[in-house]
């Protein structure tokens, strides 16, 4: 893949990559919304969207069109200029941060020395969208929602920072690619060395994205819809887009820091090399499912469009399957010794595993929403300031102590880190006992 790009001007290559990431993200976000509706429905023993396309697969397109065609209302007394600016800030902040996410060893838009700081910084700009939307609406509910959102974000950003510091101590670099390479070198994902930090990061990520059970800024029973109550039509769609993009973003950060980024599970075990064919298996399953569903549909005339769509999707999946399995000898200049057997499969390997892990995370987000009741605001603040932040600080101290023990006294690296984790858990128990 990379040799192919070398002939172009670097700016052209960057533009192509940015376009791919942007379009891919928009598609992923649209279908995350669909997946959320579907999964929530099944968690509640319903069917969810079923009518638009087979199993409601075209629902995101219908939703998008509906939002685009709706009337765009600006409330009287609103600060028009700020009202217009707020959703734009949200979307830009959410998308720009992806410039630094390493989707694969050979697929990043850019990788800078202080990469992780940039991702955190840019994504924290998204809060301005919320604040300004709440303020400029000139209405009570949005203002209260924005205030809550800000307080929540500022509180949980601290805990998030401490969780990230623990992972940085292990990686020894701020570069996003460097963090994944550090995990490849150690042969272990950081989640197995710093489980407490991962837990803090996960909870803080849910709070940062205003998801259930921490979705107080948009609590329907109290605040109508929170900061975007007065927004409608396309502007509302922008907020929606930004929210789900932010979900994908925090999942990507967590995957890069703790779940080995683009690395395959057990990347160092040769005996499990057959896992490299997992993308092939996924597309075989997808194609098979499409054809099977097409067969299962009733023969009546009203189902013909659904059948046609399923067949087209199945054919598309089969086409990708064939593309993945193009042998290396089919490319010009195949004589090179280091040419892998299936170059296309090799090229998409990293992106495939990265996205798989991100989807596992997103499923967790949706599962949480279907499971937990909403917190009260004082409970949320109490959890943040009196449990998560002390736990994060203690975890960083013990993690550093573990690293020093293994470096100075020659203790086993993993054992000393686990000793630190055990000590942290002890502190966590003491913290919970002190609480009412």
SS3 128: helix
Q: Which stretch binds another protein (CB under 8 A): 55-63, 119-127, 254-262, 389-397?
A: 119-127
Q: How far apart are the first and last CA of the chain?
A: 58
The answer to the question of residue 403 lying near another protein (CB under 8 A) is no
The answer to the question of residue 118 lying near another protein (CB under 8 A) is yes
Q: Which of 117, 286, 393, 401 binds another protein (CB under 8 A)?
A: 117
Q: Which of 57, 97, 122, 380 binds another protein (CB under 8 A)?
A: 122
By CB under 8 A, how many residues form the interface with another protein? 31
CB of 226 to another protein, least distance (A): 14
The answer to the question of residue 321 lying near another protein (CB under 8 A) is no
Q: Which stretch binds another protein (CB under 8 A): 153-161, 204-212, 311-319, 359-367?
A: 153-161
Q: Which stretch binds another protein (CB under 8 A): 12-20, 141-149, 285-293, 344-352?
A: 141-149
CB of 82 to another protein, least distance (A): 7
The answer to the question of residue 153 lying near another protein (CB under 8 A) is yes
Helical spans, DSSP H, in 209-232? 220-223
Residue 71 corresponds to which tokens in the numbers above?
A: 């009337």
Q: What are phi and psi of 83, to 5 degrees?
A: -60, -40
The answer to the question of residue 217 lying near another protein (CB under 8 A) is no
Q: Which stretch binds another protein (CB under 8 A): 33-41, 135-143, 329-337, 389-397?
A: 135-143
Q: Which stretch binds another protein (CB under 8 A): 106-114, 197-205, 342-350, 421-429?
A: 106-114
The answer to the question of residue 147 lying near another protein (CB under 8 A) is yes
CA–CA separation, 170 and 414 (whole Å): 11
The answer to the question of residue 312 lying near another protein (CB under 8 A) is no
C-beta of 259 vs 380, nearer to another protein: 380
C-beta of 112 vs 297, nearer to another protein: 112
The answer to the question of residue 79 lying near another protein (CB under 8 A) is yes
The answer to the question of residue 389 lying near another protein (CB under 8 A) is no
CB of 123 to another protein, least distance (A): 9
CA–CA separation, 263 and 184 (whole Å): 7
List CB contacts of 208: < 8 A, sequence separation 6 or more: 153, 156, 157, 160, 246, 250
SS3 107: strand
CA–CA separation, 388 and 200 (whole Å): 7
CB-CB neighbours of 305 under 10 Å: 11
CA–CA separation, 243 and 53 (whole Å): 25
Q: What is the 3-state secondary structure (H, E, C) of 182-209?
A: HHHHHCCCHHHCCHHHHHHHHHHHHHHC
Q: Which of 14, 150, 276, 406 binds another protein (CB under 8 A)?
A: 150
The answer to the question of residue 113 lying near another protein (CB under 8 A) is yes
Q: Which of 5, 31, 128, 291 binds another protein (CB under 8 A)?
A: 128
Crossing angle, helix 140-171 and helix 389-408, to 10 degrees? 10
CB-CB neighbours of 261 under 10 Å: 26
Distance (Å) of CA 267 to CA 186, 189, 258, 397: 11, 10, 15, 30
CB of 182 to another protein, least distance (A): 14
C-beta of 147 vs 311, nearer to another protein: 147
CB of 132 to another protein, least distance (A): 7
With 0-12 / 13-18 / 19 or more C-beta atoms within 10 angstroms meaning exposed / middle / buried, residue 250 is buried
Residue with tokens 């057959």: 274
Binding mask 20-59 for another protein (x = CB under 8 A): ----------------------------------------
CA–CA separation, 244 and 252 (whole Å): 12
Crossing angle, helix 304-324 and helix 278-296, to 10 degrees? 160
Contact positions vs another protein (CB under 8 A) = 79, 81-82, 85, 112-114, 117-118, 120-122, 124-125, 127-128, 131-132, 134-136, 143, 146-147, 150-151, 153-154, 157, 173-174
């Amino acid at each position: 893949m990379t040799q192919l790009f070398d002939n172009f001007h670097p700016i052209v290559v960057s533009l192509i990559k940015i376009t791919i990431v942007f379009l891919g993200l928009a598609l992923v976000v649209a279908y995350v919304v669909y997946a959320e509706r579907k999964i929530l429905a099944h968690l509640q023993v319903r069917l969810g969207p079923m009518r638009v396309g087979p199993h409601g697969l075209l629902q995101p397109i219908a939703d998008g069109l509906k939002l685009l065609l709706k009337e765009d209302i600006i409330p009287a007394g609103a600060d028009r200029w700020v009202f217009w600016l707020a959703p734009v800030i949200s979307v830009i902040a959410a998308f720009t941060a992806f410039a630094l996410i390493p989707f694969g060893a050979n697929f990043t838009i850019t990788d800078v020395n202080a990469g992780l700081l940039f991702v955190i910084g840019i994504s924290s700009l998204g809060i301005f969208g919320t604040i300004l939307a709440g303020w400029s609406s000139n209405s009570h509910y949005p203002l209260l929602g924005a205030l809550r959102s800000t307080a929540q974000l500022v509180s949980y950003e601290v805990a998030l920072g401490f969780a990230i510091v623990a992972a940085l101590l292990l990686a020894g670099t701020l570069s996003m690619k460097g963090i994944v390479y550090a995990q490849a070198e150690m042969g272990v994902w950081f989640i197995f060395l710093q489980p407490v930090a991962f837990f803090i990061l996960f909870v803080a990520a849910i709070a940062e994205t205003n998801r259930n059970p921490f979705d107080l800024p948009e609590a329907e029973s109290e605040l109508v819809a929170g900061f975007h109550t007065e927004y409608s039509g396309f502007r509302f769609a922008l907020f929606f887009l930004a929210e789900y993009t932010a979900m994908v973003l925090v999942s990507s950060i967590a995957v890069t820091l703790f779940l080995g980024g683009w690395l395959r599970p057990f990347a160092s075990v040769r005996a499990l090399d057959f896992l490299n064919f997992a993308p092939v298996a996924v597309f075989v399953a997808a194609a098979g499912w499409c054809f099977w569903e097409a067969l299962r549909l009733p023969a009546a005339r009203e189902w013909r469009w659904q059948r046609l769509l399923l067949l087209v999707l199945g054919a598309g999946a089969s086409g990708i399957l064939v593309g993945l399995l193009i042998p290396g000898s089919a490319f010009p200049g195949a004589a090179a010794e280091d040419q892998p057997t299936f170059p296309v499969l090799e090229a998409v390997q990293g992106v495939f595993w990265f996205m798989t892990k991100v989807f596992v995370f997103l499923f967790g987000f949706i599962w949480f929403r279907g499971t937990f009741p909403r917190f009260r605001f004082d409970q949320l603040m109490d959890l943040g300031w009196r449990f998560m932040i002390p736990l994060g600080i203690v975890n960083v101290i013990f993690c550093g102590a573990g690293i020093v023990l293994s470096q100075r006294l020659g203790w086993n690296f993993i054992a000393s880190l686990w000793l630190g984790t055990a000590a942290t858990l002890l502190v966590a128990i003491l913290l919970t006992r002190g609480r009412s």
